């Protein structure tokens, strides 16, 4: 577990260092994710090592958003006069993005003769 945790943190650290160094718009952890993925592709042993710990962290991914969510409550009045307008924008735009995104996925999957992963 300590090995897996070290590997994950090292990937994040390398990701943070690289984005800072090159001034990339991608955040450090996203680059760290790409890095860890590359390492797992390179070594199946490493993939097996990191899987249980990583899945443990991800099992309660929701929990990790709670502190930031509590921070939002204090800032709700910042929405100010536009509160209702913002609410409308967020709900409509999110519903549209979900519907169009999933619709595009299904449509292109059908066009390319992809039947999904019934076998997986």
Partner 1 sequence: MREFAEIWSYLAASPLIWLSATLIAYLIGDALAQAAGRAPLVNPVLVAVILLAALLWGTQTSYATYFEGAQFVHFLLGPATVALAIPLWHQRHAVRRAFLPVCAALLAGSVTAVLSALAIGYALGLSPQLLATLAPKSTTAPVALGISESLGGSPTLTAVLVILTGMIGAIVVTPLMNALRIRDWRARGFAVGVAAHGIGTARAFQVNPQAGAFAGIGMALNAMLTAFLAPWALGLFL
Q: Which of positions 17-46 make contact with partner 1 (CB under 8 A)?
A: 25-30, 32-37, 40-41
Q: Which of 1, 2, 21, 75 binds partner 1 (CB under 8 A)?
A: 75
> What's 118's DSSP letter?
S
| DSSP secondary structure string for all residues of 70-87 | HHHHHHGGGGGGGHHHHH
Whether residue 27 contacts residue 19, with contact meaning beta carbons closer than 8 Å, is answered with yes
The CA distance from 58 to 65, in Å, is: 12
Cα-trace Rg, the chain? 20
* Residue 66 three-state SS: helix
Nearer to partner 1, 17 or 100 (CB): 100
> What minimum distance in Å lies between the beta carbon of 76 and partner 1?
7
> What minimum distance in Å lies between the beta carbon of 24 and partner 1?
9
Binding mask 87-116 for partner 1 (x = CB under 8 A): -xxxxxxxxxxxxxxxxxxxxxx--x-x-x
> What minimum distance in Å lies between the beta carbon of 31 and partner 1?
9
* 18 Cβ neighbours under 8 A, 6+ residues apart: 24, 28, 31
Nearer to partner 1, 3 or 105 (CB): 105
Please give the residues from 53 up to 72 whose contact with partner 1 meets the rule CB under 8 A. Answer: 53-55, 57-72
């Amino acid at each position: 577990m300590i090995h897996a945790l070290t590997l994950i943190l090292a990937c994040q650290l390398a990701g943070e260092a690289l984005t800072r160094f090159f001034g990339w718009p991608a955040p450090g952890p996203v680059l760290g994710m790409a890095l860890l993925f590359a390492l797992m592709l390179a070594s199946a042993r490493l993939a097996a090592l990191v899987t249980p710990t990583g899945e443990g962290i991800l099992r309660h991914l929701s929990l990790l958003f709670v502190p930031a969510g509590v921070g939002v409550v204090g800032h709700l009045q910042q929405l100010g006069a536009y509160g209702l307008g913002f609410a409308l924008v967020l709900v409509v735009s999110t519903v549209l993005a979900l519907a169009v995104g999933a619709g595009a996925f299904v449509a292109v999957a059908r066009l390319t003769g992809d039947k999904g992963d019934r076998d997986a």
